[in-house]
Structure 1
């Protein structure tokens, strides 16, 4: 296994992208659970039952969407930030600030080839997610529905990648590549736990 050095640029962009993705997942989680339009509408319905006021189901859903809109706006804003960080990540190899992990390079082990293919697949999926998100926001309205269908699928590759990535990191840390976690955090390998 090759011994990688993680430059400051690599570490900053790695953690910036990771934080953005976790925040985006958090907004998806909120939208799917506590901030679900039907759950919020039920809260409104239960509250109105204790007063002399009433709204139709459509009005309650509309109000629920308005209540959760500021939270969902954060999903969009973080998506814009992620577009920027991802673009920088794709530029860094061309600026010699990060190397490109080519799975077709000779001399790689099967494990390294697998890792590099997973990363390429992940970067492709991220690019699709970002492009579909931008089309949803800025593209023609007739494509919005199709782009949303593709964009929603992003959660599946993202959750799978996080699981594979963290599993691989912990396996490497506790077997063949001790100090990997400290290197990606501080840039220096620590020999002791």
Structure 2
């Protein structure tokens, strides 16, 4: 009996299933790395290689014995900026691939782990059944924010690809400039979402949601 009982517990755990599927966990962490890398390239270009650094580059080159003008120093910073933007574009390609992976993976998730059914369930619990309204409200807010995040990712992917292939799309320069501005604006919204997400996880870990981070690593249990 002592041998059978642990086996039964193990079978029960297997049947119980994971709270987060392996595909969701893979997407979550790789997506975090890709977005962080993409934001880092933006930070580098906006601080180290912006126009204000031309005088600094000129001074450093002149201290090294070179004779350069501000225009030549600007060409150097612009070339370095282009190199970093090239890395940013590759991060964008990876983000697009991950977004497509997430869409495909959603179709293969168990019904209880799919985003829209979970949102519908929370909506019904809060507005129709009116039971456990506090938990339903929390779930509704979380899943609503997730959908907003996915929409922002979609916009970032589409606008980013349009910018990456602007030489082939036939879109005018003025419209491309507007797309670039909108792309950058959405980046700040995603950054704001990440801050809110991290704050929410931190608060949940301190209250009744302890183990969220470890569940996103090992899957957790339903």
Please show how residues 1-193 of structure 1 align to structure 2 within 5 Å. 5-39=19-53, 41-50=54-63, 51=65, 53-55=67-69, 57-96=70-109, 99-101=114-116, 102-105=118-121, 106-107=124-125, 109-138=136-165, 139-142=169-172, 143-188=175-220
For 1:52 and 1:20, how far apart are their aligned partners in 2? 38
Residues 134 and 100 of structure 1, relative CA distance in 2, 3 Å threshold: same
RMSD of Structure 2 on Structure 1 (CA): 2.1
For 1:71 and 1:34, how far apart are their aligned partners in 2? 11
The answer to which of 64-73 and 79-88 deviates more is 64-73
Task: Give the TM-score normalised by the residue count of structure 1.
Answer: 0.86
Residues 188 and 52 of structure 1, relative CA distance in 2, 3 Å threshold: closer
Identify the structure with the greater helix proportion. 2
Structure 2: which 5+ residue stretches go unaligned? 1-17, 127-135
Residues 35 and 54 of structure 1, relative CA distance in 2, 3 Å threshold: closer
For 1:54 and 1:125, how far apart are their aligned partners in 2? 43
Residues 104 and 44 of structure 1, relative CA distance in 2, 3 Å threshold: same
For 1:117 and 1:188, how far apart are their aligned partners in 2? 22
For 1:74 and 1:52, how far apart are their aligned partners in 2? 29
Q: RCO (CA 8 Å, sep 6+): is it higher in 1 or 2?
A: 2
Task: Give the TM-score normalised by the residue count of structure 2.
Answer: 0.76
For 2:220 and 2:109, how far apart are their aligned partners in 1? 20
- Alignment size in residue pairs: 185
Asked if the contact 1:38/1:61 (under 8 Å) is kept, the reply is no
For 2:66 and 2:160, how far apart are their aligned partners in 1? 42
Structure 1: which 5+ residue stretches go unaligned? none
Structure 1 residue 155, shift from structure 2 partner = 2.6
Q: Deviations over 1:89-147 (max 9, x none)?
A: 12212122651244333225111111111111111111111111111111334132111
Q: Deviations over 1:55-97 (max 9, x none)?
A: 2x33322221112322221111011001000111122121226
Asked if the contact 1:132/1:151 (under 8 Å) is kept, the reply is yes
Give 1 or 2 for the bigger CA radius of gyration.
2
